[in-house]
Structure 1
Amino acid sequence: MDITLQGEVVRIQGDEFWHMTRVLRLGVNDRVELFDGAGGLVEGSITKVDKGGTDVELLEDARLIAPQGIQWHVFAAFGTLKGGRADWLIEKCTELGACSVTPLLTERCHTIAENRADRLVLCWLQLNNVSQSKLAFLASAEAPPLLRVLPKSSNEQNGLLIIGPEGDFTEEEVHALKSAGAAPVGLGPCRLRVETATISLLSALMLWSDANHQETQQCS
C-alpha cells in the first residue's frame, strides 16, 4: 500500500477490512492509523463501509516512523508444519514485532508438501547472515539458559533468531552456526515444538530489547 498525501482515499479490503469492522467494530468517522509497509504511518478517517471494504480518507501526509529497539529476523524450520500451524506461527511472530520470518531448511526437515511449497519461500540460512549479525541466538536444548547468555545491554539495530526442526539441528549444523557467531541458548527443561520454541524465544528477546530501549531513552 502506498500512502503518502493528505486527502487521498485508501480502500481497505481483505483481512484488514474484516479486522477493522468485525473485531474492532469501527465505522464511519472513526479514526485509524495506516502503515505502508515501508516505515510510513498516516492518520485517516473512515468515510464509507460496504460489503466489499472500507474507504479511509487520509488526514495528513505520511510520516516515517523510526524503528524502536532491535529488529529481529526469525529463521525457523517450520516449512513442514501441518494443519495451519505454519500460518499461525507467522501470524504470531508478526504480532510480536518480528521484522521478518523465514522458513528454514535443515538436514532433518521432512519433504515439503507441494501445496505448501508454493506458499512458503524456504531457504538455507547462509552463514554470512549469522557472521554479519552481532546478535544471533540459536535455540538449543543443551545450551545455557537464555537469560544467562543475554548481554546486559546492546546498541545493535538487528538480530537473528534461529530455531531448528523438532528433531533438532545436526551436530554439523550446530557447529557451523556456532562457528559463524551464533550463541546457543536454552529455553528451559521442556521439549518444545517448533512454533512454541519460536514464540518463546522471540517473546523473551522482544521484552529484553524493549527494556534496553527504555533504559537508553531514560539515560539520553
Structure 2
Amino acid sequence: MSKDLPLFYVPELNSERFQYLVGDEATHGIRVLRLEVDDEILITDGRGRMSSGVIASKSKRSLDFELLEDLEPEHKEPGFHLAIAPTKNMDRLEFCVEKCIEIGLGKLSLVICQNSERRQVRVDRLQKIAISAMKQSRAAFLPDISEPLPISDFISHERSEDLFIAHCRTGEREFLKSNSSPACLLIGPEGDFTESEIEEAVANGAKPVHLGPKRLRTETAAIVGCTLMNL
C-alpha cells in the first residue's frame, strides 16, 4: 500500500465498480488536494475495509472514483477502549481524542463523574476529529464514540473486556501494562474519581492502576494509558 496516496472515508463503500466522494471528503479532494481524473486514491469504510481506486470524473462538489481492489489494512483493529471524563477545556479533549486514535483506539466512551466540570460534549465534533485522525494514521477502523453517560451507568453495564480504573488516591494499585485481551481504561476528571466511584468500579470488577509516579492531567493520562495498552 502506497503511503503517498490520499486516504478517504466512505462509510457506504460497497462492491459497485463506480462510486463517489461527497461532502467534506469531496471538498478536501477537490479544493485541498486538487485531485484530477486518473489520480489514484485509497478508500476505507472505517470498519476494516481498505481499497484502492482511481478518480474517474469530477464536478464542483463531488468526485467519482473507480474501485480497483481491496487491500490488506496496515493495522489490525485496536482492542483498546477508553472511557474518559470530558475535560473542562474542549481543546484538551479534542487533542486527546486525536492522539489516542493515532496511537490505537477501538472505542471511546464519555463518562460524567461527581467531579466533572464539563457535562455536555459535541460528539459530532469529536467524530469529525476521529475521521481525520483515522486517515492521518492510515487506519481502516473508525472508533465508535458514545454519548456521555453517568459513570454509575457505564460501570454497571455487562462487558466482555477487562476493566481498569486509573486514579491518584491511596490504596493498592498496579502499574498499567499492555493487555493481550480487549480492555477498557477509566480516566477521571481533573478532580479525580471520588472514593465511592472507585469502590463501585472495583465492586464491578475494575482493577485499580496507576500510570507512573507523577500526577497527570486527564488528557495526558489518557494518552499515556493508550500508549501503554498498545505496546
Match of 1:193 in 2: 217
State the 1:199 CA deviation. Answer: 0.8
One-letter identity of the residue aligned with 1:184: P
CA distance in 1, matches of 2:17, 2:229: 39
CA distance in 1, matches of 2:205, 2:156: 10
Give the alignment's Cα RMSD to 1 decimal: 3.3
Which blocks of at least 5 consecutive residues in structure 1 are unaligned? 208-220
CA pair 98-43 structure 1, distance change in 2 beyond 3 A: same
Match of 2:15 in 1: 5
CA pair 83-34 structure 1, distance change in 2 beyond 3 A: same
Q: Does the 8 Å CA contact 1:141/1:187 hold for their aligned counterparts?
A: no
State the 1:109 CA deviation. Answer: 0.7
**SS of match in other structure, 2:112:** coil
One-letter identity of the residue aligned with 1:3: L
Question: What count of residue pairs does the alignment treat as equivalent?
Answer: 195
Q: Does the 8 Å CA contact 2:115/2:191 hold for their aligned counterparts?
A: yes
CA distance in 2, matches of 1:203, 1:27: 38
Which residue, 184, 187, 190 being the options, matches 1:163? 187
Which blocks of at least 5 consecutive residues in structure 2 are unaligned? 1-10, 127-146
CA pair 188-118 structure 1, distance change in 2 beyond 3 A: closer
More helix by share: 1
Match of 2:82 in 1: 74
CA distance in 2, matches of 1:90, 1:110: 18
Match of 2:143 in 1: none
Q: Does the 8 Å CA contact 2:18/2:64 hold for their aligned counterparts?
A: no
CA pair 86-53 structure 1, distance change in 2 beyond 3 A: farther
CA pair 181-118 structure 1, distance change in 2 beyond 3 A: closer
CA pair 118-161 structure 1, distance change in 2 beyond 3 A: closer
Cα deviation digits, residues 116-150 of structure 1 (max 9, x gap): 46758211242344x53342221122533224xx5
More strand by share: 2
Which residue, 208, 216, 223 being the options, matches 1:184? 208
CA distance in 1, matches of 2:216, 2:100: 16
With normalisation by structure 1, the TM-score equals: 0.72
